[in-house]
Structure 1
């Protein structure tokens, strides 16, 4: 049976195997420690508790998923977070990614459009002692009232990069976002905004995410 230690070994192996694509040769100590501290078994449905430490995505409510731990790790690593930074997550889901972010930076804001997931994740994060700011709303439009953000992470695939999120990213900030249609090729992108507000992007990895709904 998999456990946290075997999961961490698998994540680190996947990081090495994909380093030519991602540009990440190994995870930073901070990210590894954050992943090790978050109890993933608390974020999965009871019937999947035994699979919580497998390196795979798992179903949650509302036809959504908790992401594969390797993908959580690499997306988090690409943000290059510092503790004093403010982060926006689009797509709270189970709250697992938000918990990992909260281990690394001082202020995490997360948006979820499904009320059931929002309520469950809010309660779960609070019960585990994570001071994450949870919101019920449309992630495509971001969170203008709390912008700008030093980092933005999107955990659902957009057809194109939402302009509101680009605008809410602070100069010097980073965004990771999967782009592509459900059932077709999706690509994880890294965007970096320079001090003049110009954005550059690079392709990181082929991925598979649930779609980002655009209202």
Structure 2
């Protein structure tokens, strides 16, 4: 895998686009500059890797638009060293963005093919998140509570098990809706029985799948 001056130039152009679209968190933008997105795509898409578009990555899944990744990351209001549960490892790009920002990442992927492929790419960067093959609806109670939870696939509802695994004061960002469109929700846990919910507009994600894994 090569990261040339041309790739770095395209990343800078992408970061300019993200700024223009309202991403102001410099830590997020610095992470985007540090992580070559083209490493996570097939070679045929290398020249388009820094366009603000999503791409197929196998198993019917996609790598999200750069703006979507940046937006979700920004509204989580991350603090260095926080413990983050990511639902949907996918290509591993979002995982690497979080690791680059200094987070302790726990990531779950339900598609075996993607779980294995993402691990190889993440290892290349020498990041050490804990990666799991399993059902994201279940979360990872063994490692709870989490400071933040990031769901990178569209959920038909807010999973109660995930809310329970948030620490009081923690946040979860999750797209909620049907197969065609979801609204981005941010859940802030006020107490063990109370939480605040905010909505940040419409997005489109692949669905969050449940039950059996393969």
| TM-score > 0.5, shorter chain as reference | yes
SS at match of 1:3: helix
What's the CA shift for 1:195? 4.8
Deviation (angstroms), 1:106:
3.4
- Map 1:1-215 → 2, pairs under 5 A: 3-15=10-22, 26-183=23-180, 185-195=181-191, 198-215=194-211
Q: Please give the alpha-carbon distance, in whole angstroms, between the structure 2 residues aligned to 1:105 and 1:170.
A: 19
Q: Do 2:164 and 2:192's aligned partners in 1 also have CA atoms closer than 8 Å?
A: no
Question: Given the two structures, how large is their TM-score scaled by the length of structure 2?
Answer: 0.91
Taking a change above 3 Å as real, the CA distance of residues 83 and 180 of structure 1, as seen in their structure-2 partners, is: same
Query: How far 1:105 moved relative to its partner?
Result: 3.0
Tell whether the 8 Å contact from 2:54 to 2:63 is kept in structure 1 after alignment. Answer: yes
Partners of 1:206 and 1:173 in 2: CA distance? 23
Which 10-residue stretch deviates more, 61-70 or 125-134? 125-134
- Displacement after TM superposition at 1:32 (Å): 1.2
For 2:210 and 2:32, the matched residues in 1 are separated by: 30
Q: Do the aligned partners of 1:171 and 1:197 also contact (CA within 8 Å) in 2? A: no
Structure 1 unaligned blocks of 5 or more? 16-25
Deviations 1:140-180 (A, max 9, x none): 11111111100000011110001110000111111100011
* Contact 1:93-1:121 at 8 Å conserved across structures: yes
The number of equivalent residue pairs is 204
Q: Quote how far apart the aligned CAs of 1:214 are.
A: 2.0
**Structure 1 residues 92-146: Cα deviation after superposition (integer angstroms, max 9, x where no partner):** 0000000001112331010000001000001110111111111000001111111
Specify the SS of the correspondent of 2:58. Answer: coil
Question: Does the Cα contact within 8 Å between 1:176 and 1:188 map onto a contact in 2?
Answer: yes
- How far apart, in 2, do the equivalents of 1:10 and 1:108 lie? 27
Which one is further off, 41-50 or 107-116? 41-50
Q: Give the whole-Å Cα distance in 2 for the aligned partners of 1:201 and 1:134.
A: 28
Q: Does the 8 Å contact 2:98/2:105 carry over to 1?
A: yes
Contact 1:89 1:155 in 2 (8 A): yes
Where do 4+ consecutive residues of structure 1 move more than 6 Å?
Answer: none
Q: How big is each residue's C-alpha offset from its partner over 1:50-109, in whole Å with a ceiling of 9 and x where there is no partner?
A: 111111111111010000010111100111111121000000000000000111233101
